[in-house]
Chain A
Amino acid sequence: AQSVTQLDSQVPVFEEAPVELRCNYSSSVSVYLFWYVQYPNQGLQLLLKYLSGSTLVESINGFEAEFNKSQTSFHLRKPSVHISDTAEYFCAVRVLSGNTPLVFGKGTRLSVIA
């Protein structure tokens, strides 16, 4: 079975400051890795994903995440946050074989302070 641990339940950060949201996973088989974002009163939106290849993946709005197999981590970073980044962020994994369900972490609430 797979599990995902998001070490911080809440992260407050000032606008234009850098941020890192941590994610560690546990799995006996290879997995795909995802970050989803949930804005207030909205559904989950895919932010970025790691499937294979380069371990550093980027989103269109400045977030990036690096897959570290030895540390079983997939931390999310942004060098300069904006007020509009305030949201709940979920890390998720899915095994490579088949079209299996996602296993999510508990989420990290990012609050950007003006």
Chain B
Amino acid sequence: DTGVSQNPRHKITKRGQNVTFRCDPISEHNRLYWYRQTLGQGPEFLTYFQNEAQLEKSRLLSDRFSAERPKGSFSTLEIQRTEQGDSAMYLCASSFGQGKSYEQYFGPGTRLTVT
């Protein structure tokens, strides 16, 4: 069990550019979540997948954001035409969809800075 990994760990981009982040969940986990954490706030839910199906999207996920999990394994989160307000830590978590707790395991996050 190598845990949830995210790449890159840091990304600096200019306003208007597109960025893509990757999340590799724990291998047997069928659920994958994306959260966003801004300075001084707790993580806020963006979207989640069960296998390759995207089951829920938050109203925070504007049209510029898109997430995929094409083979039910890794996931990508793309932000098009980045804005300064997109600067945040993007967290990925995974869980196994059986049992009571459905405990979510978090990756180290990708810190995005939009200049």
Chain A residues close to B by CB (< 8 Å): 4, 6, 9, 32, 36, 41-46, 49, 51-52, 90, 92, 94, 99, 101-107
Q: Is B72 an interface residue (CB 8 A)?
A: no
Q: Which residue of A lies closest to B111 (CB)?
A: A41
Q: Are B48 and A101 in contact (CB under 8 A)?
A: yes
Q: Are A44 and B103 in contact (CB under 8 A)?
A: no
Q: Are A99 and B103 in contact (CB under 8 A)?
A: no
Q: Is B82 an interface residue (CB 8 A)?
A: no
Q: Which residue of B lies closest to A45 (CB)?
A: B106
Q: Is B21 an interface residue (CB 8 A)?
A: no
User: Looking at chain B, what size class is its interface with the partner chain?
Assistant: 20 to 34
Q: Is B101 an interface residue (CB 8 A)?
A: yes
Chain B residues close to A by CB (< 8 Å): 4, 31, 33, 35, 40-45, 48, 50, 56, 58, 91, 93, 95, 97, 100-109
Name B42's contact: one of A42, A49, A107 (CB within 8 Å): A107
A44-B43 contact given A101-B33, A101-B48, CB 8 Å threshold: yes
With both chains docked as a complex, state the minimum distance between the C-beta of A37 and any C-beta of chain B, in angstroms.
Answer: 11
Name A102's contact: one of B45, B50, B100 (CB within 8 Å): B45
- Chosen A-B contacts, 24 in total, with CB atoms closer than 8 Å, are A36-B106, A41-B108, A43-B106, A43-B107, A44-B91, A45-B106, A46-B104, A46-B105, A49-B101, A51-B100, A51-B101, A99-B95, A99-B97, A99-B102, A101-B33, A101-B35, A101-B48, A101-B58, A102-B33, A102-B93, A103-B45, A105-B42, A106-B40, A106-B41
